[in-house]
Amino acid sequence: MDEVKHTPGPWFVTLDTVGSASLVVRTKAEPSVDSGRVAWIPNRPNKQENANLIAASPEMLAMLKDLRAEYQPCSQCLCDRDDPADEWECDGCRLVRIIFKAEGVELLRCCLCNKTIRPSGYYVGGDNAQPVADGRCCGSCNRKAVLPARMAEVEGRRYAP
């Protein structure tokens, strides 16, 4: 079971108790001083829609995590592409990206090819790029450059890519 790092749901939308026309997303349906304010939505256009979307967030995140078991990331969408806008194509990869965005997980870039490091499950750290470079590398660069360089080092020969 995943550890919940945000305020657990369900969340509810209520009017602000200080007399303004603003909305508040709370952990309890009845507004009170101790009702666990999660977000304050100022009195602006679309405030109700924004508040509803925020209030639904914990349930949406839980559902995305449930769906993740059915839609695994493929082996091609998350790496080996030059344009970051094209990186997330399949449903599994889109689910991972959205879950990571909701949880504040930042995907790393490979220090060798500068492409997005494809996460493996929830591990997003990539591989150690030593002795080729300082930093983290993607699986492709690890296989093509880092591991051969390490093998050459172990065998006492110089690695020439």
β-strand partners of 123: 120
Query: Cβ–Cβ contacts within 10 Å for residue 13, how many?
Result: 20
Are 62 and 24 within 8 A, CB to CB?
no
In this prediction, residue 1 carries a pLDDT of: 43
Strand 37-41 versus strand 127-128 pairing type: unpaired
Q: How far is CA 56 from the centre of its chain?
A: 18
Domain boundaries, the chain: 12-70, 91-154
DSSP 52-74: HHHHHHHHHHHHHHHHHTTS---
The one-digit pLDDT tens for each residue of the chain (161 residues) are 456 678 888 888 888 767 677 888 888 766 665 668 888 888 888 899 999 999 999 999 999 988 887 876 665 555 444 444 455 567 777 787 788 888 887 778 899 998 878 666 556 678 899 999 999 998 889 989 999 999 998 988 877 66
Strand 12-15 versus strand 23-26 pairing type: antiparallel
Task: Please provide the size of the chain in residues.
Answer: 161
In this prediction, residue 27 carries a pLDDT of: 84
